[in-house]
Chain A
Amino acid sequence: MFRQASRLLAQTLRAGMRPFSSDLPAAPTSDSAFNESWKKVIPNIEPPKTPSHFLRPRPATPTSIPSKITVNFVLPYASELSAKEVDMVIIPATTGQMGVLPGHVPAIAELKPGILSVHEGNDVTKYFLSSGFAFIHANSVADIIAVEAVQIDHIDPSLAQKGLAEFTQKLSSATTDLEKAEAQIGVEVHSALNSALSG
Protein backbone atom coordinates (compact mmCIF):
# COMPACT_ATOMS: atom_id res chain seq x y z
CA MET A 1 0.00 0.00 0.00
CA PHE A 2 2.79 2.34 0.88
CA ARG A 3 4.47 1.45 -2.33
CA GLN A 4 1.60 3.11 -4.16
CA ALA A 5 1.68 6.14 -1.86
CA SER A 6 4.76 7.74 -3.41
CA ARG A 7 3.36 7.29 -6.87
CA LEU A 8 0.04 8.83 -5.90
CA LEU A 9 1.81 11.69 -4.20
CA ALA A 10 3.89 12.31 -7.28
CA GLN A 11 0.77 12.27 -9.40
CA THR A 12 -1.00 14.85 -7.29
CA LEU A 13 2.15 16.96 -7.31
CA ARG A 14 2.41 16.75 -11.05
CA ALA A 15 -1.24 17.65 -11.41
CA GLY A 16 -0.61 20.65 -9.17
CA MET A 17 2.33 21.73 -11.28
CA ARG A 18 0.50 21.68 -14.58
CA PRO A 19 -1.21 25.09 -14.42
CA PHE A 20 2.18 26.67 -13.78
CA SER A 21 3.79 25.31 -16.90
CA SER A 22 0.89 26.30 -19.12
CA ASP A 23 1.20 29.85 -17.78
CA LEU A 24 4.52 30.27 -19.52
CA PRO A 25 4.54 31.83 -22.96
CA ALA A 26 4.88 29.23 -25.66
CA ALA A 27 8.45 28.05 -25.98
CA PRO A 28 10.12 29.44 -29.07
CA THR A 29 10.10 26.78 -31.73
CA SER A 30 12.92 26.31 -34.16
CA ASP A 31 12.93 27.87 -37.57
CA SER A 32 10.30 25.99 -39.60
CA ALA A 33 11.50 27.28 -42.97
CA PHE A 34 14.96 26.00 -42.19
CA ASN A 35 13.66 22.62 -41.07
CA GLU A 36 11.56 22.23 -44.19
CA SER A 37 14.34 23.09 -46.60
CA TRP A 38 16.65 20.82 -44.64
CA LYS A 39 14.27 17.91 -44.96
CA LYS A 40 13.92 18.55 -48.67
CA VAL A 41 17.67 18.48 -49.33
CA ILE A 42 18.85 16.02 -46.68
CA PRO A 43 15.98 13.69 -45.86
CA ASN A 44 17.99 11.08 -43.99
CA ILE A 45 19.45 13.29 -41.25
CA GLU A 46 17.43 15.03 -38.57
CA PRO A 47 17.72 18.81 -38.85
CA PRO A 48 20.12 20.15 -36.23
CA LYS A 49 18.92 22.29 -33.37
CA THR A 50 19.34 26.04 -33.53
CA PRO A 51 19.93 28.46 -30.66
CA SER A 52 16.29 29.55 -30.53
CA HIS A 53 15.47 26.00 -29.46
CA PHE A 54 17.44 26.57 -26.26
CA LEU A 55 16.60 30.24 -25.74
CA ARG A 56 14.97 31.00 -22.44
CA PRO A 57 11.53 32.43 -23.26
CA ARG A 58 11.37 36.21 -23.16
CA PRO A 59 8.35 38.08 -21.82
CA ALA A 60 6.09 39.81 -24.31
CA THR A 61 5.96 43.60 -24.45
CA PRO A 62 3.42 44.71 -21.85
CA THR A 63 0.90 47.39 -22.73
CA SER A 64 1.62 49.47 -19.63
CA ILE A 65 5.06 50.28 -18.29
CA PRO A 66 6.01 47.83 -15.51
CA SER A 67 7.39 49.13 -12.23
CA LYS A 68 10.61 47.11 -12.40
CA ILE A 69 13.20 46.46 -15.05
CA THR A 70 14.42 42.90 -15.65
CA VAL A 71 18.20 42.69 -15.88
CA ASN A 72 20.34 39.90 -17.32
CA PHE A 73 23.99 40.56 -16.59
CA VAL A 74 26.29 37.92 -18.08
CA LEU A 75 30.02 37.28 -18.18
CA PRO A 76 31.83 34.53 -20.12
CA TYR A 77 32.33 32.53 -16.94
CA ALA A 78 29.16 33.34 -15.01
CA SER A 79 25.68 34.80 -15.09
CA GLU A 80 25.93 37.50 -12.45
CA LEU A 81 22.29 38.51 -12.61
CA SER A 82 19.73 36.34 -14.30
CA ALA A 83 16.30 37.85 -14.96
CA LYS A 84 16.53 39.91 -11.79
CA GLU A 85 13.94 42.60 -11.28
CA VAL A 86 15.45 45.89 -10.12
CA ASP A 87 14.45 49.55 -10.02
CA MET A 88 17.20 51.04 -12.14
CA VAL A 89 20.58 50.29 -13.69
CA ILE A 90 23.23 52.83 -14.65
CA ILE A 91 25.33 51.63 -17.58
CA PRO A 92 28.75 53.00 -18.58
CA ALA A 93 28.05 53.59 -22.29
CA THR A 94 30.72 55.09 -24.53
CA THR A 95 28.53 58.17 -24.82
CA GLY A 96 28.40 58.61 -21.04
CA GLN A 97 26.67 57.08 -18.05
CA MET A 98 23.22 55.94 -19.04
CA GLY A 99 20.43 55.45 -16.53
CA VAL A 100 17.92 52.80 -17.53
CA LEU A 101 14.47 52.76 -15.98
CA PRO A 102 11.51 50.56 -16.89
CA GLY A 103 9.98 51.62 -20.20
CA HIS A 104 13.26 52.87 -21.64
CA VAL A 105 13.30 53.11 -25.44
CA PRO A 106 14.93 50.11 -27.12
CA ALA A 107 18.66 50.74 -27.47
CA ILE A 108 21.99 49.12 -28.23
CA ALA A 109 24.93 50.61 -26.37
CA GLU A 110 28.63 49.91 -26.51
CA LEU A 111 30.22 49.95 -23.09
CA LYS A 112 33.50 51.44 -21.94
CA PRO A 113 35.45 50.68 -18.75
CA GLY A 114 33.39 52.08 -15.90
CA ILE A 115 30.87 51.50 -13.18
CA LEU A 116 27.67 49.56 -13.62
CA SER A 117 25.37 50.23 -10.71
CA VAL A 118 22.28 48.21 -10.00
CA HIS A 119 19.68 49.97 -7.83
CA GLU A 120 17.27 47.80 -5.99
CA GLY A 121 15.23 49.66 -3.40
CA ASN A 122 17.86 51.22 -1.16
CA ASP A 123 20.52 48.70 -2.08
CA VAL A 124 23.04 49.72 -4.69
CA THR A 125 25.43 47.11 -6.09
CA LYS A 126 28.34 48.49 -8.07
CA TYR A 127 30.41 46.53 -10.56
CA PHE A 128 33.42 47.66 -12.50
CA LEU A 129 33.16 46.52 -16.14
CA SER A 130 35.98 46.27 -18.64
CA SER A 131 33.91 46.53 -21.82
CA GLY A 132 31.01 44.96 -23.60
CA PHE A 133 27.54 45.67 -24.89
CA ALA A 134 24.16 46.47 -23.42
CA PHE A 135 20.82 45.88 -25.12
CA ILE A 136 17.65 47.43 -23.81
CA HIS A 137 14.51 45.85 -25.21
CA ALA A 138 11.02 47.24 -25.58
CA ASN A 139 9.70 44.80 -22.98
CA SER A 140 11.73 46.47 -20.18
CA VAL A 141 14.43 43.83 -20.26
CA ALA A 142 18.05 44.95 -20.20
CA ASP A 143 20.81 42.56 -21.30
CA ILE A 144 24.31 43.53 -20.24
CA ILE A 145 27.21 41.50 -21.61
CA ALA A 146 30.67 42.24 -20.27
CA VAL A 147 34.00 40.57 -20.83
CA GLU A 148 35.11 41.05 -17.25
CA ALA A 149 33.42 42.51 -14.19
CA VAL A 150 34.16 42.71 -10.49
CA GLN A 151 32.27 44.14 -7.59
CA ILE A 152 33.80 47.46 -6.71
CA ASP A 153 34.54 46.58 -3.08
CA HIS A 154 36.69 43.63 -4.23
CA ILE A 155 39.23 45.97 -5.81
CA ASP A 156 42.37 47.04 -3.99
CA PRO A 157 42.79 50.83 -4.49
CA SER A 158 46.55 50.76 -3.97
CA LEU A 159 47.01 48.19 -6.74
CA ALA A 160 44.86 50.28 -9.08
CA GLN A 161 47.09 53.31 -8.39
CA LYS A 162 50.18 51.23 -9.01
CA GLY A 163 48.76 49.87 -12.26
CA LEU A 164 48.00 53.37 -13.49
CA ALA A 165 51.56 54.53 -12.76
CA GLU A 166 52.96 51.45 -14.51
CA PHE A 167 50.93 51.92 -17.68
CA THR A 168 51.59 55.70 -17.79
CA GLN A 169 55.27 54.88 -17.69
CA LYS A 170 54.82 52.24 -20.41
CA LEU A 171 52.91 54.70 -22.59
CA SER A 172 55.72 57.23 -22.46
CA SER A 173 58.34 54.60 -23.28
CA ALA A 174 56.33 52.83 -26.01
CA THR A 175 57.97 52.72 -29.42
CA THR A 176 55.71 50.72 -31.72
CA ASP A 177 52.07 51.47 -32.46
CA LEU A 178 50.95 48.19 -30.93
CA GLU A 179 52.73 48.86 -27.65
CA LYS A 180 51.34 52.36 -27.60
CA ALA A 181 47.79 51.14 -28.14
CA GLU A 182 48.15 48.50 -25.44
CA ALA A 183 49.53 51.01 -22.97
CA GLN A 184 46.77 53.46 -23.90
CA ILE A 185 44.11 50.85 -23.09
CA GLY A 186 45.86 50.10 -19.79
CA VAL A 187 45.90 53.77 -18.85
CA GLU A 188 42.24 54.21 -19.76
CA VAL A 189 41.11 51.20 -17.73
CA HIS A 190 43.16 52.13 -14.70
CA SER A 191 42.18 55.79 -14.69
CA ALA A 192 38.52 54.75 -14.98
CA LEU A 193 39.09 52.35 -12.13
CA ASN A 194 40.72 55.04 -10.00
CA SER A 195 38.01 57.57 -10.61
CA ALA A 196 35.42 54.89 -9.85
CA LEU A 197 37.11 54.08 -6.56
CA SER A 198 37.45 57.69 -5.51
CA GLY A 199 33.95 58.66 -6.71
Chain B
Amino acid sequence: MAMAAVRREGRRLAPLISPQSITAVRPSVISQEQAPLGLRSISTQIVRNRMKSVKNIQKITKAMKMVAASKLRAIQVRAENSRGLWQPFTALLGDTPSVDVKKNVIVTISSDKGLCGGINSTSVKISKALKKLTAGPDKETKYVVLGEKAKAQLIRDSKKDIELSITELQKNPLNYTQVSVLADDILKNVEYDALRIVFNKFQSVVSFLPTVATVLSPEAVEKEAESGGKLGELDSYEIEGGETKSEVLQNLGEFQFSCVLFNAVLENACSEQGARMSAMDSSSRNAGDMLDRLTLTYNRTRQASITTELIEIISGASALEG
Protein backbone atom coordinates (compact mmCIF):
# COMPACT_ATOMS: atom_id res chain seq x y z
CA MET B 1 0.00 0.00 0.00
CA ALA B 2 2.64 2.43 1.10
CA MET B 3 4.89 1.30 -1.68
CA ALA B 4 2.14 1.96 -4.19
CA ALA B 5 1.86 5.52 -2.96
CA VAL B 6 5.60 5.96 -3.21
CA ARG B 7 5.66 4.62 -6.72
CA ARG B 8 2.85 6.96 -7.70
CA GLU B 9 4.80 9.90 -6.34
CA GLY B 10 7.83 8.80 -8.21
CA ARG B 11 5.95 8.54 -11.48
CA ARG B 12 4.53 12.01 -10.97
CA LEU B 13 8.00 13.44 -10.63
CA ALA B 14 9.54 11.36 -13.36
CA PRO B 15 8.96 13.74 -16.28
CA LEU B 16 10.62 16.51 -14.32
CA ILE B 17 13.84 14.67 -13.93
CA SER B 18 16.61 14.94 -16.43
CA PRO B 19 19.45 12.42 -16.70
CA GLN B 20 21.96 15.12 -15.84
CA SER B 21 20.48 15.76 -12.46
CA ILE B 22 20.50 12.08 -11.65
CA THR B 23 24.17 11.77 -12.26
CA ALA B 24 24.78 15.04 -10.47
CA VAL B 25 23.08 13.92 -7.30
CA ARG B 26 24.18 10.38 -6.91
CA PRO B 27 26.87 9.53 -9.43
CA SER B 28 28.54 6.85 -7.34
CA VAL B 29 25.51 4.66 -6.79
CA ILE B 30 24.08 4.24 -10.26
CA SER B 31 25.53 5.10 -13.56
CA GLN B 32 23.53 6.68 -16.34
CA GLU B 33 23.11 3.47 -18.33
CA GLN B 34 21.78 1.55 -15.38
CA ALA B 35 19.01 3.99 -14.53
CA PRO B 36 16.58 4.59 -17.34
CA LEU B 37 15.03 7.99 -16.58
CA GLY B 38 13.57 8.02 -13.10
CA LEU B 39 12.44 4.47 -12.94
CA ARG B 40 14.78 3.26 -10.29
CA SER B 41 15.94 6.36 -8.46
CA ILE B 42 14.40 9.79 -8.23
CA SER B 43 16.22 13.06 -8.00
CA THR B 44 15.20 15.37 -5.23
CA GLN B 45 17.02 18.35 -6.67
CA ILE B 46 14.01 19.96 -8.33
CA VAL B 47 11.78 19.64 -5.34
CA ARG B 48 14.55 21.06 -3.18
CA ASN B 49 14.90 24.03 -5.48
CA ARG B 50 11.20 24.70 -5.44
CA MET B 51 11.14 24.43 -1.69
CA LYS B 52 13.89 26.98 -1.46
CA SER B 53 12.13 29.44 -3.71
CA VAL B 54 8.82 29.03 -1.92
CA LYS B 55 10.60 29.60 1.37
CA ASN B 56 12.13 32.79 0.00
CA ILE B 57 8.77 34.03 -1.24
CA GLN B 58 7.31 33.34 2.16
CA LYS B 59 10.08 35.37 3.78
CA ILE B 60 9.38 38.30 1.47
CA THR B 61 5.62 38.28 2.00
CA LYS B 62 6.11 38.01 5.75
CA ALA B 63 8.42 41.02 5.69
CA MET B 64 5.92 42.97 3.57
CA LYS B 65 3.20 42.12 6.01
CA MET B 66 5.28 43.43 8.90
CA VAL B 67 6.03 46.66 7.05
CA ALA B 68 2.37 47.15 6.15
CA ALA B 69 1.33 46.49 9.75
CA SER B 70 3.66 49.09 11.17
CA LYS B 71 2.71 51.65 8.52
CA LEU B 72 -0.95 50.90 9.15
CA ARG B 73 -0.64 51.63 12.84
CA ALA B 74 0.85 55.06 12.16
CA ILE B 75 -1.62 56.05 9.47
CA GLN B 76 -4.69 54.67 11.19
CA VAL B 77 -4.30 57.13 14.05
CA ARG B 78 -4.05 60.00 11.62
CA ALA B 79 -7.03 58.86 9.58
CA GLU B 80 -9.16 58.51 12.67
CA ASN B 81 -8.12 61.94 13.90
CA SER B 82 -9.05 63.51 10.59
CA ARG B 83 -12.56 62.08 10.66
CA GLY B 84 -13.92 65.09 12.51
CA LEU B 85 -12.84 67.36 9.70
CA TRP B 86 -15.51 66.72 7.10
CA GLN B 87 -18.45 66.29 9.47
CA PRO B 88 -19.29 70.00 9.91
CA PHE B 89 -19.37 70.45 6.14
CA THR B 90 -21.76 67.59 5.64
CA ALA B 91 -23.90 68.87 8.49
CA LEU B 92 -24.05 72.33 6.89
CA LEU B 93 -24.09 71.64 3.17
CA GLY B 94 -25.74 68.25 3.29
CA ASP B 95 -24.86 65.16 1.33
CA THR B 96 -25.88 65.45 -2.30
CA PRO B 97 -24.78 62.43 -4.33
CA SER B 98 -27.92 62.60 -6.48
CA VAL B 99 -27.41 66.20 -7.54
CA ASP B 100 -28.00 66.74 -11.25
CA VAL B 101 -25.40 69.07 -12.77
CA LYS B 102 -23.70 69.46 -16.12
CA LYS B 103 -20.01 69.17 -15.40
CA ASN B 104 -19.12 66.28 -13.19
CA VAL B 105 -15.56 65.60 -12.16
CA ILE B 106 -14.78 62.25 -10.60
CA VAL B 107 -11.74 62.27 -8.37
CA THR B 108 -10.57 58.68 -8.12
CA ILE B 109 -8.20 57.97 -5.29
CA SER B 110 -5.97 54.91 -5.52
CA SER B 111 -2.54 53.76 -4.42
CA ASP B 112 0.78 53.96 -6.22
CA LYS B 113 1.83 50.44 -5.38
CA GLY B 114 0.10 47.15 -6.02
CA LEU B 115 -0.17 43.97 -3.97
CA CYS B 116 -2.93 45.39 -1.89
CA GLY B 117 -5.99 43.32 -2.66
CA GLY B 118 -8.91 44.75 -4.57
CA ILE B 119 -9.08 48.30 -3.29
CA ASN B 120 -7.81 49.95 -6.45
CA SER B 121 -10.06 48.02 -8.78
CA THR B 122 -13.00 48.78 -6.48
CA SER B 123 -12.47 52.49 -6.73
CA VAL B 124 -12.00 52.26 -10.50
CA LYS B 125 -15.16 50.21 -10.82
CA ILE B 126 -17.14 52.68 -8.74
CA SER B 127 -15.74 55.58 -10.74
CA LYS B 128 -16.74 54.01 -14.02
CA ALA B 129 -20.19 53.29 -12.66
CA LEU B 130 -20.49 56.89 -11.48
CA LYS B 131 -19.57 58.09 -14.94
CA LYS B 132 -22.29 55.92 -16.38
CA LEU B 133 -24.72 57.28 -13.81
CA THR B 134 -23.93 60.92 -14.48
CA ALA B 135 -23.77 60.56 -18.23
CA GLY B 136 -26.46 62.14 -20.34
CA PRO B 137 -27.07 64.51 -23.22
CA ASP B 138 -25.14 67.82 -22.93
CA LYS B 139 -23.43 66.61 -19.81
CA GLU B 140 -19.80 65.82 -19.44
CA THR B 141 -17.87 63.77 -16.94
CA LYS B 142 -14.14 63.95 -16.47
CA TYR B 143 -11.72 62.02 -14.33
CA VAL B 144 -9.02 63.30 -12.03
CA VAL B 145 -6.88 60.35 -11.05
CA LEU B 146 -4.73 60.15 -7.96
CA GLY B 147 -2.29 57.28 -7.84
CA GLU B 148 -0.56 55.06 -10.36
CA LYS B 149 -2.85 52.03 -10.18
CA ALA B 150 -6.15 53.70 -11.06
CA LYS B 151 -4.41 55.58 -13.82
CA ALA B 152 -3.17 52.34 -15.37
CA GLN B 153 -6.67 50.89 -15.29
CA LEU B 154 -8.56 53.97 -16.47
CA ILE B 155 -6.17 54.89 -19.25
CA ARG B 156 -7.14 51.73 -21.11
CA ASP B 157 -10.68 52.67 -22.05
CA SER B 158 -11.23 56.28 -21.04
CA LYS B 159 -7.99 57.96 -21.86
CA LYS B 160 -9.64 61.03 -23.36
CA ASP B 161 -11.67 61.65 -20.24
CA ILE B 162 -8.73 61.89 -17.88
CA GLU B 163 -8.24 65.55 -17.19
CA LEU B 164 -5.45 65.30 -14.68
CA SER B 165 -3.47 62.55 -13.06
CA ILE B 166 -1.31 62.87 -10.03
CA THR B 167 1.05 60.21 -8.75
CA GLU B 168 3.63 59.73 -6.03
CA LEU B 169 1.38 61.30 -3.47
CA GLN B 170 2.62 59.17 -0.64
CA LYS B 171 6.32 59.71 -1.02
CA ASN B 172 6.30 61.82 2.10
CA PRO B 173 3.91 61.26 4.98
CA LEU B 174 0.60 62.90 4.11
CA ASN B 175 -0.08 66.24 5.70
CA TYR B 176 -2.75 68.86 5.31
CA THR B 177 -0.51 71.44 3.63
CA GLN B 178 0.47 69.02 0.90
CA VAL B 179 -3.10 67.93 0.30
CA SER B 180 -4.39 71.49 0.18
CA VAL B 181 -1.77 72.37 -2.43
CA LEU B 182 -2.98 69.35 -4.39
CA ALA B 183 -6.61 70.41 -3.98
CA ASP B 184 -5.69 73.88 -5.21
CA ASP B 185 -4.03 72.32 -8.25
CA ILE B 186 -7.14 70.34 -9.07
CA LEU B 187 -9.45 73.32 -8.59
CA LYS B 188 -7.32 75.51 -10.82
CA ASN B 189 -7.07 73.04 -13.68
CA VAL B 190 -10.53 71.58 -13.79
CA GLU B 191 -13.91 73.14 -14.48
CA TYR B 192 -16.62 71.56 -12.40
CA ASP B 193 -20.12 71.84 -11.06
CA ALA B 194 -19.75 68.85 -8.81
CA LEU B 195 -16.68 67.02 -7.64
CA ARG B 196 -17.21 63.42 -6.68
CA ILE B 197 -14.42 61.94 -4.63
CA VAL B 198 -14.21 58.15 -4.80
CA PHE B 199 -12.19 56.40 -2.12
CA ASN B 200 -12.13 53.37 0.14
CA LYS B 201 -13.12 54.23 3.67
CA PHE B 202 -11.23 52.27 6.25
CA GLN B 203 -13.49 50.35 8.58
CA SER B 204 -11.30 47.57 9.88
CA VAL B 205 -8.21 45.73 8.68
CA VAL B 206 -10.35 43.44 6.57
CA SER B 207 -13.21 45.69 5.47
CA PHE B 208 -13.15 48.80 3.35
CA LEU B 209 -16.24 50.64 2.22
CA PRO B 210 -16.20 52.27 -1.19
CA THR B 211 -17.43 55.80 -0.59
CA VAL B 212 -18.42 58.75 -2.75
CA ALA B 213 -18.20 62.24 -1.27
CA THR B 214 -19.73 65.09 -3.25
CA VAL B 215 -18.47 68.67 -3.25
CA LEU B 216 -20.52 71.22 -5.17
CA SER B 217 -19.25 74.37 -6.82
CA PRO B 218 -20.46 77.67 -5.28
CA GLU B 219 -22.86 78.25 -8.16
CA ALA B 220 -24.33 74.78 -7.81
CA VAL B 221 -24.70 75.33 -4.06
CA GLU B 222 -26.60 78.56 -4.63
CA LYS B 223 -28.81 76.97 -7.24
CA GLU B 224 -29.62 74.06 -4.94
CA ALA B 225 -30.30 76.41 -2.02
CA GLU B 226 -32.69 78.47 -4.13
CA SER B 227 -34.56 75.46 -5.40
CA GLY B 228 -35.05 74.23 -1.84
CA GLY B 229 -34.45 70.54 -1.41
CA LYS B 230 -31.56 69.43 0.72
CA LEU B 231 -29.74 72.73 0.86
CA GLY B 232 -32.89 74.76 1.46
CA GLU B 233 -31.81 75.51 5.01
CA LEU B 234 -28.67 77.26 3.85
CA ASP B 235 -30.57 80.48 3.19
CA SER B 236 -31.46 80.79 6.85
CA TYR B 237 -27.77 81.18 7.72
CA GLU B 238 -26.34 84.63 8.20
CA ILE B 239 -23.07 85.01 6.38
CA GLU B 240 -20.33 87.01 8.06
CA GLY B 241 -17.17 88.27 6.46
CA GLY B 242 -16.29 88.60 2.81
CA GLU B 243 -17.70 91.13 0.37
CA THR B 244 -20.48 89.05 -1.06
CA LYS B 245 -22.22 85.81 -0.31
CA SER B 246 -20.78 84.12 -3.38
CA GLU B 247 -17.25 85.00 -2.30
CA VAL B 248 -17.76 83.34 1.05
CA LEU B 249 -19.36 80.35 -0.63
CA GLN B 250 -16.40 80.11 -2.99
CA ASN B 251 -13.96 80.08 -0.07
CA LEU B 252 -16.16 77.63 1.76
CA GLY B 253 -16.35 75.28 -1.22
CA GLU B 254 -12.61 75.28 -1.73
CA PHE B 255 -11.97 74.72 1.95
CA GLN B 256 -14.52 71.93 1.97
CA PHE B 257 -12.82 70.24 -0.96
CA SER B 258 -9.40 70.36 0.68
CA CYS B 259 -10.77 69.01 3.96
CA VAL B 260 -12.77 66.21 2.34
CA LEU B 261 -9.85 65.31 0.10
CA PHE B 262 -7.49 65.23 3.08
CA ASN B 263 -9.68 62.79 4.91
CA ALA B 264 -10.28 60.74 1.74
CA VAL B 265 -6.58 60.43 0.97
CA LEU B 266 -5.81 59.35 4.52
CA GLU B 267 -8.65 56.83 4.61
CA ASN B 268 -7.55 55.38 1.30
CA ALA B 269 -3.92 55.13 2.39
CA CYS B 270 -5.10 53.42 5.55
CA SER B 271 -7.23 50.97 3.57
CA GLU B 272 -4.28 50.30 1.28
CA GLN B 273 -2.04 49.29 4.16
CA GLY B 274 -4.78 47.21 5.72
CA ALA B 275 -5.50 45.44 2.44
CA ARG B 276 -1.82 44.84 1.84
CA MET B 277 -1.45 43.43 5.30
CA SER B 278 -4.25 40.92 4.86
CA ALA B 279 -3.15 40.04 1.33
CA MET B 280 0.39 39.40 2.48
CA ASP B 281 -0.87 37.45 5.45
CA SER B 282 -2.86 35.10 3.26
CA SER B 283 -0.03 34.70 0.77
CA SER B 284 2.45 33.79 3.50
CA ARG B 285 -0.07 31.26 4.71
CA ASN B 286 -0.43 29.87 1.20
CA ALA B 287 3.34 29.68 0.85
CA GLY B 288 3.44 27.78 4.14
CA ASP B 289 0.85 25.28 2.89
CA MET B 290 2.73 24.81 -0.33
CA LEU B 291 5.95 24.30 1.55
CA ASP B 292 4.31 21.61 3.65
CA ARG B 293 3.13 19.79 0.55
CA LEU B 294 6.51 20.03 -1.09
CA THR B 295 8.24 18.76 2.04
CA LEU B 296 5.96 15.77 2.07
CA THR B 297 6.73 15.02 -1.57
CA TYR B 298 10.42 15.48 -0.94
CA ASN B 299 10.47 13.09 2.00
CA ARG B 300 8.45 10.49 0.14
CA THR B 301 10.73 10.61 -2.85
CA ARG B 302 13.79 10.30 -0.70
CA GLN B 303 12.28 7.38 1.15
CA ALA B 304 11.35 5.75 -2.15
CA SER B 305 14.88 5.95 -3.47
CA ILE B 306 16.29 4.54 -0.25
CA THR B 307 13.84 1.66 -0.42
CA THR B 308 14.73 0.95 -4.03
CA GLU B 309 18.41 0.82 -3.18
CA LEU B 310 17.80 -1.52 -0.29
CA ILE B 311 15.77 -3.84 -2.46
CA GLU B 312 18.54 -3.84 -5.06
CA ILE B 313 21.16 -4.75 -2.50
CA ILE B 314 19.08 -7.41 -0.82
CA SER B 315 17.97 -9.04 -4.03
CA GLY B 316 21.52 -8.96 -5.29
CA ALA B 317 22.77 -10.64 -2.14
CA SER B 318 20.08 -13.30 -2.21
CA ALA B 319 20.86 -14.02 -5.86
CA LEU B 320 24.50 -14.64 -4.95
CA GLU B 321 23.59 -16.86 -2.01
CA GLY B 322 21.07 -18.85 -3.97
Interchain CA distance A45-B214 in the complex, whole Å: 19
In the complex, B129 has a CB within 8 A of chain A: yes
Instruction: Name the distance in Å between B89's Cβ and chain A's nearest Cβ.
Output: 8
Q: A62 at the A/B interface (Cβ < 8 Å)?
A: no
Contact call B240/A38, Cβ cutoff below 8 A: no
Q: Does A33 contact B (CB under 8 A)?
A: yes
Q: What bracket does the count of chain B residues touching chain A fall in?
A: 35 or more
Measured CA separation A86–B318 after assembly (Å): 101
- The answer to whether A37 has its CB under 8 Å from any CB of chain B is yes
How would you classify the secondary structure of chain B's contact residues: helix, strand, loop or mixed? Answer: helix
Contact with A along B126-145 (1 / 0, CB 8 A): 10010011000000000000
B85 touching A76, Cβ below 8 Å: yes
B209 touches A49 (CB 8 A): yes
Partner of A79, one of B84, B125, B126, B209: B84
**Interface contact A50-B241, CB-CB below 8 Å:** no
Q: Which of A6-14, A104-112, A117-125, A176-184 contacts B (4 or more CB under 8 A)?
A: A104-112
Q: When the two chains form their complex, are residues B81 and A78 in contact, meaning their CB atoms are under 8 A apart?
A: yes
Q: When the two chains form their complex, are residues B242 and A110 in contact, meaning their CB atoms are under 8 A apart?
A: yes
Give the number of residues in A that approach B within 8 Å (Cβ atoms). Answer: 46
**What's the least CB distance linking A127 to chain B, in Å?**
15
B239 near A108: Cβ-Cβ < 8 Å: yes
Nearest CB in chain A: distance from B5 CB, A: 44
Q: Are B84's CB and A82's CB within 8 A?
A: yes
B90 touches A51 (CB 8 A): yes
Task: Establish whether residues A31 and B85, one from each chain, have CB atoms under 8 Å apart when the complex forms.
Answer: no
Chain B residues near A37: list those with CB within 8 A.
98, 133
Q: Is B92 an interface residue (CB 8 A)?
A: yes
Interface centre among B89, B91, B129, B211 (most CB of A within 10 A): B91
A6 to B76, CA, bound (A): 32
Return the 6 tightest CB-CB contacts between A and B, nearest first: A143-B88, A94-B241, A79-B84, A52-B95, A76-B176, A110-B241
